[in-house]
Structure 1
Amino acid sequence: MSRMSTEIVAFLLSVSGWILVSATLPTDYWKVSSVDGTVITTATFWSNLWKTCVTDSTGVSNCKDFPSMLALDAYIQLCRGLMIASVCLGFLGAALALVGMKCTRIGGSETTKARLGALAGLHFLLCGLCCITACSIYAHRVTTDFFDPLFVAQKFELGAALFIGWAGSVLCVLGGLVFCLSLSEGFTIRQAQREYTYSGQASFVSMRHKPDVDSRALHVEPQRVQRDSPQRFERNAYV
């Protein structure tokens, strides 16, 4: 696969992952109330990073936004910051990738485009790592409360948003890695071309000086032949 095709595949993977990560941030179901051990379920509790809601058996939902950012639990604040940073990093990575890809006509020289592509891959890697960290922290808190026998409040299970975030994170990390590998391959090919050009110049210099050596040999060889020829003639004469 050529470098251009590899960059296109990496761009599609990374942008798809970034879209999933961006969709995870406003998704409602980060955690959903557990029905384990419940005979009749009259209401479903669910919440995300911004609000907590309850849905009754008729399908009517009542939501309440978190009243104060400073009064929130530390893990929710951390997850908010990581998810916002992940969305911003993915946006910057997509912009740099469009400029640094080989199939685009903007970005300057090949060296500049390669550097921009490397920065794009790094941004996508950081985007995936931030999102997967945020989803893992949130999931760890939910599972810890669920398996804690001393926790008597409403227990929750993992919501769909966490799985969407993990999937987007994996795609961003894969796209960033493919970007970095394609660029390292391009640097290797460029270095090989430079070495080939240098060796070609050296061989040209050696060929330029080679006729002088041959010309000396041509001047010396006839004298040796002329000096040896009488001896051979006299030896053959005695025989």
Structure 2
Amino acid sequence: MGEGAWSCQQSPAILLAMPAQPASSLPNGVVQSEATARALIDAVVSNELSAFRQGPLSPAELAAQTQQPVYRALRCIRKWEKMGVLRVHSVHKRAGRPIRRYALSAPSFFIPAQVLPLEDVAGIVSRPLEQQLHAHVAHALREVVGLQGSEVFLEPRRYGAFLVSAPGQVWDGSGENLPVLANRWATLKLSYADACAMRDELDEVFARYADRAGPQTYWLHLRLVPETSKA
């Protein structure tokens, strides 16, 4: 993932990019309300709008795809229609109530930083994903046989809190039939060129495995950021 992009599970997109649809109910697809902006970012994380990426849906079709009652699907549609994110795409007349199908009002929605600061966007995306990641790590650690605890090292060559298989023996993560775990924290002293190279190499590794279709789902969170005196 390149610079300036936040991604989340099953939504590898910058903010919210979706297939093109006819004209937008929001002026040029520009979000001017903080409430709508926050709702859109939340929807990326929760995949609430992902069903509409493939095209228009009726409330019944949305309910079937998302496995929820029709009244909840209708409530969801009305919420997004009120905010201008969804619009009526077509109306099929029949005996009784007509069937309305709804579509995204724009292929993407631009959120100016004045409406929602970028650090807020990062927080909205990151917090629930980090909570889920933490839960997965906690579960995986409970599955590891042989971990005796943790140990704080204050040595010249080793500093920090480590998982240990016995006092003084740092667990290296290896072992037959154990969950595959990796957890790396570091404060690096890099030149600008080295930082760019490291970012590009991490992106290459991520891209190499991103499209694999193995039987087990793994979570990965990569971040590289320069330290600032204001942090």
Question: TM-score of the superposition, structure 1-length normalised?
Answer: 0.23
- The structure whose Rg is larger is 1
Task: Flag the structure with higher helix content.
Answer: 1
Higher relative contact order (CA 8 A, sep 6+): 1
Question: TM-score of the superposition, structure 2-length normalised?
Answer: 0.24
